Amino acid sequence: MAPFTNILACGLAFAATAAAVNPIVVQEQEFIDSKTNDRFVVIGIDYQPGGQAAVGTGAGDPLSNGTLCLRDAALMQNLGVNTIRSYNLNPTLNHDECASIFNSAGIYMILDVNSPLAGGSIDRSDPSSSYTTDYLTSVFQRIEAFKSYPNTLGFFAGNEIINDVPTGQANPPYIRAVQRDMKNYIAANADRQIPVGYSAADVRSVLEDTWAYLQCDNSANGGDTMSNSDFFGLNSYSWCGGDATFETSGYNDLVSIFSNTTIPVFFSEYGCNQVRPRVFDEVQALYGPKMTVMSGGLLFEWTEEGDDFGLVQTYANGSLQLTTDFENLSDQYAMLDVSSLTSVNDTATSLQAPQCDSSLISGDGFSNDFDIPSPPDGAESLISAGISNPPTGSIISVTQTSVGLAVYATDGGEISGLKINPVQNGNAPGQNTGSVSTGSPGATQTGTSTSGGGDSNSDGSSNDGSGSSTSTASGSSSSATESGAAFRIDGRTAGGAVAAAAIGVVAFAL
């Protein structure tokens, strides 16, 4: 842990300024910081407290409660997270406080524009009937709500719409159509380019064709230069347990599949839970030298929703307790070589997407039709003029940086000194751990949990921990223990002795 005097000096340096991260741009197969030109690798968490069960209840938007966002952002910053993904968002709510808190903590947002509510996504069983002006209006509302935040990294146009060979026939052209409409809307109504991509199921029978179809250059087909994906997310749960390897998990196959990618590819979900607790050995593989094609990943998921994926357990009174998974992930993040991750691959700057052609598609039954559907009636005027009464968003000053809600370590000891440390660049493991201490161990917290009845994504697809990969769990037992761990600082355990060394907590207003 860094000396407290050093932490104090850093805090004072940021006290008088409102920090803002630099927007991220796409440069061939990599994400790049638009100001520093450093490579940006996603070190992230899927963030949807309450799960789909909360959607439509008034509590389903994870980015509209500043008190809870402050609590979670402080923990994520200490952990080393630089990106979150949120699936279900209500564009009519105000997101300024949460977006500003995550921005101040150096954490970017990748956001889904779809909803599990009726008419809120492309219906994979009948895409043409669901591709309507009303649907696009709801998509554009979410773009309007988040376009002005510098830490909006990108938007997902769809999630697991293609999940088997039959759905690979009619749906691909409509995914490209939605991406085109989103990118055209951003170009006409936002002050910067914001990347738009797709989150795919790890179904190996359609995975390579899905990526090839979405990344190719379709400009020769009627001058279509906007329907391609800017990035490609993959929901993959193929690495299971401590005995898994690069080969048994199928990670080597991913390197082969994406070896010629011209857009960033990353895990939009990962973290198999068939072996509990999770030890997250895949973190070292994902960010290691053998994984030459991936730009990081988003671990599923932040809160426990009744399906054993949560890094934290939340309660109705706003308190929170860390799980053993949180501790194990903290240990893995602490071993990452962050400096090597930010080095730009010079060979990536010369990559160009292949022209869209039926020869790119290898699977029988997968669409090789690159005649993208025209926008529905009225959509082009929405794109050019903007939607009526659009929601707005802007970064505001974060005046409260210390967490006021109770947060407990896995052993029941209350964590004190938890706050966000304002930064000017993206967060990273080991860079913003702060002065945090854990009190004496206590009983496991009890009370009403806020866990939902299982998770599913914005299009209704579910997460079962195994994903759709051809790889299977090893069945090995985890090497971690279920109890006895305390909150980690720089990958080390902080027990009651740390509290004696902490000389207080200083909260800094921006």
Residues labelled as active-site residues = 160, 269
CA-CA distances (angstroms) from residue 407 to 19, 72, 301, 314, 444? 25, 10, 18, 9, 12
> Which residue is it, tokens 């010369």?
350
Neighbours of 129 (CB within 10 A): 9
Three-state DSSP at 460 gives coil
Report the amino acid identity of residue 400.
Q
Length of the chain: 510
CA–CA gap between residue 156 and residue 56 (Å, rounded): 21
Three-state DSSP at 279 gives coil
Three-state DSSP at 482 gives coil
Neighbours of 25 (CB within 10 A): 19
Do the beta carbons of residue 458 and residue 121 sit within 8 Å?
Answer: yes
Report the amino acid identity of residue 258.
F
- What are the beta bridge partners of residue 269? 235
CA–CA gap between residue 84 and residue 111 (Å, rounded): 8
- Four-residue CA torsion sign, 204, 206, 211, 217: positive
How far is it between the farthest Cα atoms of the chain?
69
Report the amino acid identity of residue 75.
L
Mapped to the 3 state alphabet, what secondary structure does 74-117 carry?
HHHHHHCCCEEEECCCCCCCCCHHHHHHHHHCCCEEEEECCCCC
Do the beta carbons of residue 283 and residue 248 sit within 8 Å?
Answer: no
CA-CA distances (angstroms) from residue 505 to 11, 135, 397, 415? 11, 48, 21, 12
